[in-house]
Amino acid sequence: MHAHRPFRRTVLACAAALAGCATAGASRAPLGGPSLSPAAEVGAAPAGAPALAVERRGPKAYLALCAGAPRRDLAVRLWDGSALAPLGAPLSGAGSCAGAALRLDQSGAPVVAVEEQDAAGGARVRVLRWDGRAWQPLGAELNQEPQERAEAPALALGPDGALWAAWQESRGDAVLVLVARHDGTAWRQVGHAVNGSPSPAGSGAPAIVIEPRGRPVVAWQEAGELAVRVARHDGDEWRDLGPLHERGATGRAPTLALDPAGHVLAAFVLERGDERTVPVLRWDGRGWGDVGEPLPAGRTSPAVTRPAIGIDRWGIPAVVVPRGGPSPALLLARWGGDGWGAPEARLDVEGGVSPALGVTGDGNLVAAWQEQPEDPARSRVLWRRGPPPSAAPAAASERPEPAEAGDEGR
């Protein structure tokens, strides 16, 4: 296992790092509370977990969700800065929509990967792209074995504009974590399975980012080890970057993001005894370093939902923390310069799960999630927006310290 090294404060300074930004004396509206709009419903109930993609240089935000009953179709909504409207007709496939991933391609067009489940228990993942007028298939289905279940898709965009996908695929009662890259014509599998060999049921739930050098990094939960693991493809094979926590604790539901310097940030749910936390870690090229103290997340419970990370234009991250226990909730916390602010700003209204978080190019925070009340027929997707900060942090002109030897070469 890679030992966690002390977090270098200056490496996360603004524009290429995170520390010091929020306490630099700038006038900024806090995240959460009054700075966020009231929760608004996206589409009609019942609706499932949302996916979110935001423009880097504009106000647009896209939301994808599975909605309808008894069969669910994929619906995509566009926020153009003033109103939320459908983007094309709902996507109806051979099966019922069970989940989706969403990214913008190099041209700014939305691309969605949708998981569809049929009545016979099968599942497939297909990818579609908005061409300006309609949704068009992007290559064939991702399933490597058509008779096996493909689930839990994730999408990423590489520095060369190539789209990448990660998903889990069954092999009997076991699971493979697979990755493919779209070469402009078709999806090409990258290496063998990320997890090497089939993992026990309950494994998977992959997250993927692409480093500035074009190397994919994937995190997933490994049921056999009760751990969150990470691997990177070096051009020849998948190389282990280690579990993200020590033995004796249970790690689940990872998410990944890139800081402005291109370093990988990871957040996940960690359970030790009856305590639940959300650690945030950063890979600096040699090992994982803690980004502040783990965020408290209530009590251990059977239900687990993935955290979400959003990073603003100055590189300051915010995290949606899924609180477990008898009073589940989605709490919003922001990096405050020397540590995480107390996650006290509640996003959800009733039983929020599956959060998504982003910051648009004009600086607006966007959060979306699914509400799961006791009556499943009332499940719905809500979202909230925050105004852009009134000023850049005073430290935004700072440059990060030079990387230590070996930081970027591995």
pLDDT at 314: 79
Separation between Cα atoms, residue 185 and residue 138, nearest integer Å: 8
**CATH number of this structure's domain 9-397:** 2.120.10.10
DSSP per-residue letters across 186-228? SEEE-SS-TTSSPBPTT-EEEEEEE-TTS-EEEEEEETTTTEE
pTM for the structure as a whole = 0.88
Residue with the bigger pLDDT between 368 and 399: it is 368
Query: Counting Cβ atoms within 10 Å, is residue 8 exposed (0-12), middle (13-18) or buried (19+)?
Result: middle
Separation between Cα atoms, residue 329 and residue 46, nearest integer Å: 19
Residue with the bigger pLDDT between 210 and 386: it is 210
Nearest to 396 by CA among 23, 15, 8: 15
Two tokens at 318?
């915010």
Structural domain boundaries in the chain: 9-397
Two tokens at 370?
């699914």
pLDDT at 19 over 60: no
pLDDT at 2 over 80: no
> How much of the chain, in percent, has pLDDT values that exceed 90?
59
Q: pLDDT tens for residues 353-395?
A: 999 999 988 888 899 999 987 777 778 899 998 765 555 554 3
Separation between Cα atoms, residue 323 and residue 43, nearest integer Å: 25
Q: pLDDT tens for residues 261-300?
A: 899 999 999 999 999 999 999 999 889 999 999 999 999 8
Three-class SS state of 29: coil
Residue with the bigger pLDDT between 23 and 66: it is 66
Separation between Cα atoms, residue 352 and residue 369, nearest integer Å: 6
Separation between Cα atoms, residue 118 and residue 96, nearest integer Å: 6
- Beta-bridged to residue 352, according to DSSP, are 371
